[in-house]
Structure 1
Amino acid sequence: MLANINVLLLDYALGSLKRQGGKSIFIFLVLCLLIFLLASVLMIADAIIFTMKQA
């Protein structure tokens, strides 16, 4: 029974991706860009703090 529910959920998710493929790809790319920007800011901030502690 549980396997049947998982298959139905997977079928629904894949159908949704097929219907709204462009929108899904756009949202995925925007989220990737936001994660990249956040990681870059945190890395630069950590590098500045590390440099300040060495001086």
Structure 2
Amino acid sequence: MPRVPTFDHGMDVGFAIVVMQMTRTLHLPAGSDPLVVLLAAPTWSFLLILF
């Protein structure tokens, strides 16, 4: 039976999520983004990105 890459990737991600939940760890940098926002205590205007 050939290996299905999509299934393998899904199992890898699922395993990583379970391990991070069991060890109560964050995946940096994405896991720390909300913490940085909460610590900075910005106003709601930080959601607007103007170029």
Q: Same fold (TM over 0.5)?
A: no
Report the TM-score when normalising by structure 1: 0.42
**TM-score, normalised by the number of residues in structure 2:** 0.44
